Amino acid sequence: MRARPDWRALFLAAGLLLGTACAAAPQAYTIVVPAPPGGPIDRVARLLAPDLAAALGHPVVVDNRLGAAGKIGVQAALRAPRDGHTLIAVSPSIASVNPVVDKAPGYDPLADFDALGIAATNAGVVAVRAGLPVADMAELVHYAKAHPGELTYGSFGIGTSLHLQSEELLHTLGIDARHIPYKGEAQVMAALAGGEVDLMLYATAPIVPLVQSGRVRALAATSSQRWAMLPQVPSYAETGLPALRTYQYRSWVGFVLPTGTPAADRQAVLQAWQRTLASPKLRESLTAQGFEPASGDPADMQRTVAGEIGRLRALLASGRITLD
């Protein structure tokens, strides 16, 4: 008589084999990007992910979580298991602006973020629609004063870093423009190229082909030096406007872990992070897309965020900028 198979034993063995296979399978890391695809945070995260995966020895997935000026993505990442497998890509909008302009952002960057460091900084240009009859910053100021209330500018949304920086620049120049909020950098640039808005007061690498094709015009680089991606465009310091002689703006993209990540897990990610940022290939890729590779030092990022929060609080308290 043929013996009946022991189904319980077979199921148990299959379960053990499945469990062993799952345990042996590589566990992916996730970079949560609380911003739309195509923007500066997303571009840096996607450039960095392959090198970080090689350094970690595990896949790294970029996960765009959109909405509420980055809050949805950040809050989702903070709810994930704190095992070192969830990183968050952040910018001034997320790390410095939200905690100042939002009464309930759902996170405290100085208490809830364990900084890995700033991966890249980036300058940009002041850009205008092709049909606006201005060729430089001095003509923009003259036009704005001659046509009060007519100019419009685009940003990533109310209370974002681009919104605040734009209002600060307008105040510095002594002119006004009406704010039109969009959902991301790509949308603002499309609106500018289509003539829906007059100005974008800080535009990064994706603006270059629009400038080269004549669909928009670049008036000045937003730092004290010319921008390598559009070297023909004068810097703020070269515009001849006294208000811009020492004025400049540079944004950045950094990466954090949620606080409470076990020390061993954090150390493993930090070591992989430092090897990644030392990669010549990554540094070349960042430079090619208009970014300047940064040191990736955790303490430097912590100081940067704390300093920006203090500056923005003082800026809002002064009454020079309103969010209405």
The strand pairing partners of 220, in sequence order, are 126
Please state the rounded mean pLDDT for residues 212-220. Answer: 98
Q: DSSP string spanning 147-177?
A: STTT-EEEESSTTSHHHHHHHHHHHHHT---
Task: Please write the tens of the pLDDT for every residue from 223-250.
Answer: 888 998 999 999 999 999 999 999 988 8
Query: What confidence category does residue 324 fall into, taking pLDDT thresholds of 50, 70 and 90?
Result: low
pLDDT at 235: 96
pLDDT at 11: 43
Q: Is the pLDDT of residue 2 over 60?
A: no
Of the candidates 124, 120, 122, the one whose C-alpha atom is nearest the C-alpha of residue 221 is 124
pLDDT at 18: 42
Q: Is the pLDDT of residue 136 over 50?
A: yes
How many Cβ atoms from other residues are within 10 Å of residue 76's Cβ? 16
Tokens, residue 96? 């410095």
CB 250 within 8 A of CB 235: no
Tokens, residue 135? 């060729």
Task: Please write the tens of the pLDDT for every residue from 251-302.
Answer: 999 999 999 999 999 999 999 999 999 999 999 999 988 899 998 999 999 9
Alpha carbon of residue 202 to chain centroid: 13
Of the candidates 80, 34, 106, the one whose C-alpha atom is nearest the C-alpha of residue 253 is 34
Least confident interval from 7-11, 63-67, 240-244, 314-318? 7-11
Whole-number Å distance between alpha carbons of 263 and 249 = 35
Query: What confidence category does residue 21 fall into, taking pLDDT thresholds of 50, 70 and 90?
Result: very low
Q: Is the pLDDT of residue 321 over 80?
A: no
pLDDT at 61: 97
pLDDT at 5: 52
Whole-number Å distance between alpha carbons of 203 and 286 = 16
Strands in 60-64's sheet, in edge-to-edge order, are 60-64, 29-33, 86-90, 251-258, 113-122, 292-293
Whole-number Å distance between alpha carbons of 124 and 230 = 9
Core vs surface per residue 112-129: b (16+ CB within 10 A) or e: bbbbbbbbbbbbbbbbbb
Instruction: Using a pLDDT cut of 90, give the percent of the chain over it.
Output: 72
Is there a shared CATH topology between the 27-122+251-317 domain and the 125-244 domain?
yes
Q: DSSP string spanning 96-122?
A: IIHHHH-S--S--HHHHEEEEEEEEEE
More confidently predicted of 4 and 9? 4
Whole-number Å distance between alpha carbons of 109 and 243 = 32
- Domain ranges across the chain: 27-122+251-317, 125-244
Half-sphere exposure of residue 271: CA atoms within 13 angstroms, side-chain side: 9
What is the 3 state secondary structure string of 206-225?
A: HHHHHHHCCCEEEEEECCCC
Query: What confidence category does residue 118 fall into, taking pLDDT thresholds of 50, 70 and 90?
Result: very high
Please state the rounded mean pLDDT for residues 147-174. Answer: 91
CATH superfamily of 125-244: Periplasmic binding protein-like II (3.40.190.10)
- 27-122+251-317 fold: D-Maltodextrin-Binding Protein; domain 2 (3.40.190)
Q: Is the pLDDT of residue 8 over 70?
A: no
**pTM for the model:** 0.77
Strands in 178-181's sheet, in edge-to-edge order, are 178-181, 152-155, 199-203, 125-129, 216-221
Query: What confidence category does residue 97 fall into, taking pLDDT thresholds of 50, 70 and 90?
Result: very high
pLDDT at 294: 94
